[in-house]
Amino acid sequence: MTVRTRTFRRGSRTLPIAAALTAAMFAFGEFAPLHAQERPRTLFELLFAPSRPREAREPKPPVKTQRVKKPSTKTKVAKRETTQDPVAEEVVKAADAKVILVVGDFLGDGLAEGLTEAFAANASVRVVDKTNGSSGIVRNDFYDWPKEVPALIDAEKPVAVIVMLGTNDRQEMRVSGTRVPVRTPEWAKEYEQRVATLAKAVRDKQAPLIWVGMPPFKQNSMSSDMLALNDVFRAGAEAAGGAFVDIWDGFVDENGAFATTGPDIKGNPVRLRSGDNGLNFTSAAKRKVAFYVEKPLEKILGPQKQQLIGAATPSTGIPDPATPGAPVNLDRTAPMALTDPELDGGGELLGASFSTSNTARTPAEKMSIEGIAPSPVAGRADDFGDGEPARAAAPLPASPEQTTAIPPKPRG
């Protein structure tokens, strides 16, 4: 009982204090609902700090903030697009338009896109893309180009056939039922035979052949293989009477190594190869490959750009459109002989006879060439009195203002 009594007494002492604190807190309103952003007061502030004003305890209305929109980037994009070169508007091709047939692998497909862009505004030329991206020379079981090309030529009747393939040919070849490793002598012999067969298939159809070589690649071993294949393509195309277009130098740097970027057809630095390890061409590179092919195509198609060719009148030199086929008469100046001395014969026409010897030499020429000194003059510094009669110096004429010398007086 004693322990319990003491405990009860101690508790009775603390109860009034707790009750007083609770009443004070209710009185000051500290148990009122707090705003989410209001900091609760500490015990020291409850006992000694003055009470907060009611206006401070009430929640403030949220402040509305107006978001400022950033300037749109559409105007910037529009300005950037306006700086690009205008794309040639594609015209409707004529019914009798000349057809250019493009065959090959996925790089040949890029060449066809570049040629389509090049002749987009020309209604008299039409590009037909018959490429197969996974095809090549090795896998003739997948797609046999020597068998497919004659049917394509009969159907399209092209004025030129452009071939670009070889990227997929770095693999084994089946020869007489046996797999032959790549770049072995047996492999190379069979590959040359198949290239010649494809070139002959185009020649038998009386269609001009243009064979486009392979570009370099990022992998050095692949670039080395493409160089070897280009030699085979060149030999096969030229043996069939076709033309070989070498594009290698257009896709390397100044050291001859593979280049991801380089100049386009206008000389501007652009990206030429895509991000897939440099296998594919970009749009600028496709147009660049087509630019290489345009030159041999001009020999087949003729000049596709209108040129003002005519006779030139002697007075104005302006071509006369009334007579476009008349010869041009030009006044030409006779060429100058390269063997003419600088001052001897420079005023003579080519073919005129003149003498290069000059017997009448000046005293300076006699001194410098023949070593003959001029005759000394009496009283001059070069008169050494060596026995040769010296020339008398001519007397100077007397001036009218000068008086003559006074004669000496006679002796005596």
Confidence grade of residue 393 (pLDDT, cut at 50, 70, 90): low
Tokens representing 125?
């030329």
pLDDT of residue 369: 76
Tokens representing 150?
């004659």
Confidence grade of residue 307 (pLDDT, cut at 50, 70, 90): very low
For the ranges 44-58, 228-242, 343-357, the lowest mean pLDDT is seen at: 343-357
The chain-wide mean pLDDT, for the chain, equals 76
- Exposure string (b/e) for 22-40, b if CB count within 10 Å is 16 or more? eeeeeeeebeeeeeeeeee
| pTM score above 0.75 | no
Q: What is the pLDDT of residues 78-104, one digit of tens each?
A: 333 334 555 556 789 999 999 999 999
pLDDT of residue 15: 53
Domain annotation for the chain: domains and CATH numbers: 2-54 (no CATH), 91-301 (3.40.50.1110)
Distance CA 332, CA 209 (A): 41
Distance CA 158, CA 209 (A): 10
Task: Answer yes or no: are the C-beta atoms of 224 and 193 closer than 8 Å.
Answer: no
Whether 3 has a pLDDT exceeding 80, the answer reads: no
Tokens representing 231?
């030699």
Find the largest Cα–Cα distance for the chain. Answer: 190
Partner residues linked to 100 by β-bridges: 127, 160
Whether 153 has a pLDDT exceeding 80, the answer reads: yes
Q: Alpha-carbon torsion 86, 249, 211, 148, what sign?
A: negative
Whether 359 has a pLDDT exceeding 90, the answer reads: no
Q: What is the pLDDT of residues 231-258, one digit of tens each?
A: 999 999 999 999 999 999 999 999 999 9
Query: 161 or 405: which carries more pLDDT confidence?
Result: 161
pLDDT of residue 275: 85
Q: What is the pLDDT of residues 20-40, one digit of tens each?
A: 655 555 554 544 444 444 566
pLDDT of residue 180: 96
